Amino acid sequence: AKDAGKGQAAVYRPGMKARVAEQAALLDGLRQAVTGHQLHVEYQPIVRLADGRVTGVEALARWRHPVRGPVSPEVFIPVAERTGLIVPLGRSVLAQACRQASRWQRGGSPFATHVNVSAHQLRDPDFVVDLQKVLAETGLAPAGLVIEITETAMADDPQLMDTLRAIRALGVHVGLDDFGTGQSSLGILASCPVDLIKVDKSFVDRVTLDDRRAAVASAILRMADALDLHAIVEGVESAAQAQRLHDMGYRQAQGFHFARPLPPRAVDRLLRPR
Ligand code: C2E
Ligand code: CA
Ligand code: CA
Ligand code: CA
């Protein structure tokens, strides 16, 4: 078998052929969805812990397969990454999110729209020029946009660091996603040109149950403060977690406790002053 060089023969489990066929069908459908503009975007509110006020949103790609119905990004994003389809997919999400964000921006108070961008996209030599074009076309003020990247994607790639600097030179902010799940978080924080971190849900999950977890969540915040980085906690699911994180000093959070990812109109309703 092909993998024999790794010292281990590939084992063909029953059903593998079917899985390969399914992956191919999924990729085919995804390719059609991207070129046919069938991908849409939902927006999960980011709130101020002090009063629950919505300070921004994270744009999340959504795909409704004509036959299978909604497919999770946990399924289709990795497929898109493996095949390079993430580049046009990501471009479409970025354009949709910027268009929507410019409407929210016209609504008044400062508002940040976060968009996930994969390392694959950042390596595309056209990325920064495309970004500049999208900002110009949509009229979105650069300071209203946050590009979220994952720390694993960043590991010691000087070219990516340059791209991040170019993004920040436009006035767009950069955030480090899933902070604390990678392998070199601390080193990366010292060298990576970012404005904020998204503290991973795994630190939030047990924050009310486990004192040692809570101590780590608190230490992450103090480190972020010392480095002049904003910190947003992700995956807050209960009032008790929100309270505990607020008591620690966290100012911003995101999670099902506050709001799920929503279509733009539902976000409009949250932003309208009552
Ligand atoms: P992420 O960037 O870490 O996004 C947060 C994910 O956590 C979202 O899942 C969101 O729905 C979910 N979430 C938010 N609050 C809670 C909570 O309180 N509890 C739980 N259990 N989950 C919560 P989603 O939308 O399924 O996206 C999964 C991942 O797919 C994202 O993780 C991101 O890595 C990727 N992704 C989604 N859209 C895009 C995109 O446009 N481009 C790229 N490159 N990746 C994307
Ligand atoms: Ca994210
Ligand atoms: Ca995240
Ligand atoms: Ca994630």
Give residue 164's identity as a one-letter amino acid code: L
What pLDDT is recorded for position 22?
83
Among 39, 42, 46, 60, residue to substitute to test ligand 1 (most atoms within 8 Å of Cβ): 60
What pLDDT is recorded for position 274?
60
For the chain, 274 residues long, give each residue's pLDDT as a single digit of tens. 444 444 455 666 667 788 888 888 889 999 999 999 889 999 999 999 999 999 999 999 999 998 889 999 999 999 999 999 999 999 999 999 999 999 998 777 789 999 999 999 999 999 999 999 999 999 999 999 999 998 776 766 888 999 999 999 999 999 999 998 876 667 778 888 899 999 999 999 989 999 998 999 999 999 999 999 999 999 999 999 999 999 999 999 999 999 999 999 999 999 887 6
Among 116, 150, 176, residue to substitute to test ligand 1 (most atoms within 8 Å of Cβ): 116
Atom of ligand 1 nearest to the CA of 73: 30
Q: Are 175 and 148 in contact (CB under 8 A)?
A: yes
Which string of b and e fits 100-114 if b means at least 16 CB within 10 Å? Answer: bbbebbeeeeebbbb
pTM of the prediction?
0.93
Q: What is the DSSP string of 161-215?
A: HHHHHHHHHTT-EEEEEEETSSS-HHHHHHHS--SEEEE-HHHHHTTTT-HHHHH
What pLDDT is recorded for position 250?
98
What pLDDT is recorded for position 9?
57
User: How many angstroms is it from 58 CA to the middle of ligand 2?
Assistant: 7
What pLDDT is recorded for position 195?
96
Interhelix angle 16-35/86-106, rounded to 10 degrees, is 40
Angstrom distance (rounded) from CA 63 to CA 40: 7
User: How many angstroms is it from 64 CA to the middle of ligand 3?
Assistant: 22
User: How many angstroms is it from 17 CA to the middle of ligand 3?
Assistant: 33
Q: Which ligand is nearest to the CA of 148?
A: 2
Q: Are 114 and 175 in contact (CB under 8 A)?
A: yes
What pLDDT is recorded for position 4?
44
The interface predicted TM-score of the complex, written ipTM, equals: 0.98
What pLDDT is recorded for position 120?
92
